[in-house]
Amino acid sequence: MSISLKHLILHSLELVEDGTIGLQARAEEMAHSEEALSLIESLHLNYSGRAAKGFGFYNQENDSPFKQQLDALLSQDVDFHKYSVDAGTVLVEELKKYDFVEQGVLLLANYEHVAGEYLLIMLLENKTSPAVDDSLELTASRYLETSSVQLAARIDITDMQRNPESQRYVSYVKGRAGRKISDFFVEFLGCDDGLDVKMQNAVLMQAVDDYCQATQLDKEEKLAYKDEVKSYCEQQLKDGEEIVVGELAKALPTAEENVDFYQFAAENYPLEEQFPADRTALKKLAKCFGQGKGVSVSFEQKLLGDRIFYDEATDTLTIVGIPPNLREQLKNNK
């Protein structure tokens, strides 16, 4: 992998005497080594492949402590070590504000990949695992949990400097850590809400639906094209890549007056040129589903008009041939 590591440092977040979290700062940056480069390559791949990410940016009036420290680093007013300690101190203050006790290893890395420069910030868990030594005795082995990091952010420094109007050069994990913890980490970053991935995906699904209607495709053709779109989006998600509207247009037919999907979407929908795929939204390409008032319904779109019929006048759904397990439950609950 073509990663060039510029700076790397680890600090520790530990409990202090009063029961709160304190920063145990490392005295200097980590030396460049094969182990350090391997760690950052692994974390870069892991982070890039995460689907659930939020995005943000810094407006011109932003005066958050983190942004001020970042500006000082980029203008070379402070070195990376000083910046990392200042950022760690802000993180500790945010933890105290929310009354969180999050211990672990704070990693800050500045690196280049392909044509971009990035700043990666992660809070890694220190874990212990049983191991066997040379004498076949059980010992405790300590390691960093790097495969399921819940508090992580990355700043695309190149995009931030070249495209100040961008609203997505700050990204952060929106994982299972909980909404409150996620909110705390965003406050630490001090960024404004940026690209709404779920909304972009929802708009894309609507645009694909409308385009299929505009091209007057029959049911089978419509399902086939939707399946192609779904396959493309799922592959992008699997590869850790984004949906590129221009590439997606190649999977759809040309409409009347030689208008392709790219032009159709650009003229009618607020879509970015590219954005991350959302797994939940992709389901709408193949399934109809909804819930409310104690009822939850989900079925494949291809069954509509075949085994499932919708009467708009009476607002009723008729299912012909219900699933066997559902049939048994219905019999038992008459």
Residue 257 clears pLDDT 80, i.e. is over it: no
Confidence at 222, pLDDT banded by 50, 70, 90:
confident
- Same domain for 274 and 148: no
Looking at the fold, whether 262 and 317 belong to one and the same domain comes out as no
> Same domain, yes or no, for 133 and 205?
no
Is the pLDDT score of 50 beyond 90? no
pLDDT at 179 > cutoff 60: no
Q: Which domain holds residue 225?
A: 197-285
The predicted model gives 89-100 an average pLDDT of 86
Q: Are residues 121 and 248 in the same domain?
A: no
How many domains are there within the chain? 3
CA gap 274, 55 in Å, rounded: 13
The whole-number pLDDT of residue 290 equals 84
| Residue corresponding to tokens 């404004």 | 192
The residue from 193, 210, 230 where one domain ends is 193
Q: Are residues 54 and 85 in the same domain?
A: yes
pLDDT at 223 over 70: yes
> Cα angle at 51 between 46 and 56, to 5 degrees?
100
Cα separation values, 166 from 53, 55, 57, 130, 289, Å: 16, 10, 7, 47, 34
Would you report the helix, strand and coil content of the chain in percent, each value rounded to 5?
40, 30, 30
What does the mean pLDDT of the chain come to? Answer: 88
Instruction: Answer yes or no: are the C-beta atoms of 266 and 216 closer than 8 Å.
Output: no
**Same-domain pairing of 36 and 115:** yes
Among 101-115, 209-223, 275-289, the range of highest mean pLDDT = 101-115
d(CA 58, CA 41): 27
What is the rounded distance in angstroms from the CA atom of residue 151 to the CA atom of residue 202? 26
Amino acid identity for residue 279 in this structure? R
In terms of Cβ atoms closer than 10 Å to its own Cβ (0-12, 13-18, 19+), residue 28 is exposed
Residues 37 and 120 in one domain: yes
Residue 323 Cα to chain centre, angstroms: 35
Classify the C-alpha dihedral 264-266-268-274 as positive or negative. Answer: positive
- Categorize the per-residue pLDDT at 180 as very low, low, confident or very high, splitting at 50, 70 and 90: low
Pair 244, 325 in one domain: no
- Based on the fold, state whether residues 159 and 90 are members of the same structural domain: yes
Q: Measured between alpha carbons, how far is 76 from 72 in angstroms, rounded to an integer?
A: 6
Which residue, 285, 300, 316, sits at the end of a domain? 285
Confidence bin at 245 (pLDDT 50/70/90): very high
pLDDT tier for residue 175 given thresholds of 50, 70 and 90:
low
Residues 166 and 235 reside in one and the same domain: no
**Residue 73 binned pLDDT confidence (cut-offs 50, 70, 90):** very high
State what percent of residues in the chain have pLDDT above 90. 40
Decide which of 193, 219, 239 is a domain's last residue. Answer: 193
3-state secondary structure the chain: CCEEEEEEEEEEEEECCCCCEEEECCCCCCCCCHHHHHHHHHHHHHHHCCCCEEEEECCCCCCCHHHHHHHHHHCCCCCHHHHHHHHHHHHHHHHHHHCCCCCEEEEEEEEEECCEEEEEEEEEEEEEEEEECCCCCEEEEEEEECCCCCEEEEEEHHHHHHCCCCCCCEEEECCCCCHHHHHHHHHHHCCEECCCHHHHHHHHHHHHHHHHHHCCCCHHHHHHHHHHHHHHHHHHHHCCCCEEHHHHHHHCCCCHHHCCHHHHHHHHCCCCCEECCCHHHHHHHCEEEEEECCEEEEEEHHHECCCEEEECCCCEEEECCCCHHHHHHHHHCC
Residues 115 and 135 both lie in one domain: yes
| Structure tokens that stand for 67 in this block | 């942004």
What is the amino acid identity at position 259? V
Give pLDDT, residue 97: 83
Q: What is the pLDDT of residues 274-293, one digit of tens each?
A: 998 888 888 888 888 888 88
Cα 289 to its chain centre, rounded Å, is: 24
Domain shared by 51 and 181, yes or no: yes
21 or 99: which leads in pLDDT: 21
- pTM: predicted TM-score of the whole model, two decimal places: 0.77
Question: What's the per-residue H, E or C state across 10-48?
Answer: EEEEEECCCCCEEEECCCCCCCCCHHHHHHHHHHHHHHH
pLDDT at 79 over 60: yes
